[in-house]
């Protein structure tokens, strides 16, 4: 199969497209013929070696955690899915950006989603749902999402709105219309956030989800009034000293099914900023690593 691979840790230039061995699904896994895969910050952090102690990989490695495609092989013990079904889902830390990929968690991809939208939905939605569920019931609550224009932040906005929350999202001013279209009340991140929130949410903020790890976690705790009302999916370094809970992405098919059900209802759609062909995988990683991405970057096979 053709795949994106890197043989050493490094910047995006270490990525190449080459022939690689076909993967085989193990028990409880499926293999898909990939239509598209997304690029996530974890992908370039792993590729660059920044998290090699936490997330070691065997080299050469294929980047990518989530993808969409049609099932072409089914592992032992798997039920409820058939060859030819269109699914989106997650595999391991690596392996998705290739013609064939193994998934350990998946759900049917809504017909309303394009391949790009489905490719961008899996990791973003399970990460967002992990954080939102850690915060408890959302209906009738006011939720602040820090970093609301990114892939996970945007998913959190739509999923929280669907759960009945009033959502305030932080982003650069150029992304405020984007947040409004997703159902959030936009405001700008950075110094003075508490004062700006007083204007848009005079009743205060009940809960906070940090998806940005921008150094604002201490201020977010002050805004919420108690670290128990704040969850981060991004700032592992500061969470411990501040008493803030960390929610990590989990390969949970129930979360994927929940996101897909909302997708089928038109209440959640992964927002794709740009797509790249497989041959431009290095450009896709460089785009993601450059920051200021609105929504998701997707590689199309």
- Calpha distance 145→156 (Å, rounded): 7
Cross-strand partners of 298:
38, 275
Q: Would you call 139 exposed, middle or buried from its count of C-beta atoms within 10 A (0-12, 13-18, 19+)?
A: exposed
Mean pLDDT of 163-187: 94
Q: Are the beta carbons of 65 and 40 closer than 8 angstroms?
A: yes
Q: Is a pLDDT exceeding 90 seen at residue 55?
A: no
Q: For 253-292, what is each residue's pLDDT tens digit?
A: 999 999 999 999 999 999 999 999 999 999 999 999 987 7
DSSP state of 79: -
The pLDDT value recorded for residue 98 is 98
The pLDDT value recorded for residue 53 is 83
CA atoms within 13 A on the CB side of 284: 30
- Calpha distance 269→193 (Å, rounded): 28
**Percent of the chain at pLDDT exceeding 90:** 89
The pLDDT value recorded for residue 191 is 86
- Calpha distance 287→272 (Å, rounded): 13
Mean pLDDT of 92-105: 97
Q: For 126-153, what is each residue's pLDDT tens digit?
A: 999 999 999 999 999 999 999 999 999 9
- Calpha distance 153→40 (Å, rounded): 13
Mean pLDDT of 176-194: 92
Residue with tokens 């290739």: 98
Q: Is a pLDDT exceeding 90 seen at residue 59?
A: yes
Q: Is a pLDDT exceeding 90 seen at residue 213?
A: no
The DSSP annotation for 16-75 comes to EEEE-PPP---TT-EEEEEEEEEE-HHHHHHHHTTTTTTS--PSSB---SEEEEEEEEE-
Q: Which 3-state string (H, E, C) describes 126-151?
A: HHHHHHHHHHCCCCCCEEEEECCCEH
The pLDDT value recorded for residue 293 is 86
Q: For 26-53, what is each residue's pLDDT tens digit?
A: 999 999 999 999 999 999 999 999 888 8
Q: Are the beta carbons of 64 and 99 closer than 8 angstroms?
A: no
Cα torsion for 46, 48, 54, 58, to the nearest 10°? 70
CA atoms within 13 A on the CB side of 164: 6
The DSSP annotation for 241-271 comes to HHT-EE------HHHHHHHHHHHHTTS--PP
Mean pLDDT of the chain: 95
The pLDDT value recorded for residue 292 is 79
The pLDDT value recorded for residue 194 is 87
* Structure tokens given for 212: 């940005």
- Calpha distance 19→252 (Å, rounded): 31
* More confident position, 102 or 54: 102
Mean pLDDT of 62-66: 97
3-state secondary structure of 13: helix
pTM, full prediction: 0.95
Q: Is a pLDDT exceeding 90 seen at residue 215?
A: no
- Calpha distance 115→36 (Å, rounded): 6
Which residues in 58-81 are b (16+ Cβ under 10 Å) and which e?
Answer: eeebbbbbbbbbebebbbeebeee
Q: Is a pLDDT exceeding 90 seen at residue 113?
A: yes
């Amino acid at each position: 199969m053709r795949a994106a691979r890197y043989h050493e840790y490094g910047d995006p230039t270490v990525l190449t497209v080459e022939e690689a061995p076909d993967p085989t699904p193990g028990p409880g896994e499926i293999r898909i013929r990939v239509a598209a895969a997304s690029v996530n910050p974890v992908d370039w952090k792993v590729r660059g070696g920044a998290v090699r102690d936490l997330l070691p990989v065997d080299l050469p490695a294929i980047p990518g955690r989530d993808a969409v495609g049609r099932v072409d092989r089914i592992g032992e013990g798997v039920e409820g899915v058939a060859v030819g079904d269109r699914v989106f889902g997650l595999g391991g830390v690596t392996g998705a950006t290739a013609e064939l990929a193994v998934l350990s968690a998946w759900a049917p991809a809504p017909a309303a989603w394009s391949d790009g939208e489905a490719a961008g939905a899996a990791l973003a939605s399970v990460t967002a749902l992990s954080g939102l569920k850690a915060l408890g019931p959302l209906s009738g609550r006011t939720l602040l999402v820090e970093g609301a224009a990114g892939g996970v932040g945007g998913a959190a906005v739509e999923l929280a709105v669907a759960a009945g929350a009033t959502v305030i999202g932080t982003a650069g001013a150029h992304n405020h219309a984007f947040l409004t279209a997703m159902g959030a009340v936009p405001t700008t991140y950075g110094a003075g956030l508490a004062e700006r929130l007083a204007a848009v949410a005079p009743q205060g903020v009940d809960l906070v989800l940090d998806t940005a790890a921008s150094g604002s976690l201490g201020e977010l705790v002050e805004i919420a009034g108690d670290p128990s009302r704040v969850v981060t999916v991004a700032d592992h370094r500061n969470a411990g000293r501040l008493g803030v809970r960390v929610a990590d992405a989990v390969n949970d098919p129930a979360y994927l099914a929940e996101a897909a059900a909302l997708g089928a209802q038109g209440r959640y759609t992964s927002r794709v900023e740009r797509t790249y062909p497989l041959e431009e995988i290095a450009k896709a990683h460089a785009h993601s690593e450059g920051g200021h991405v609105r929504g998701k970057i997707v590689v199309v096979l």
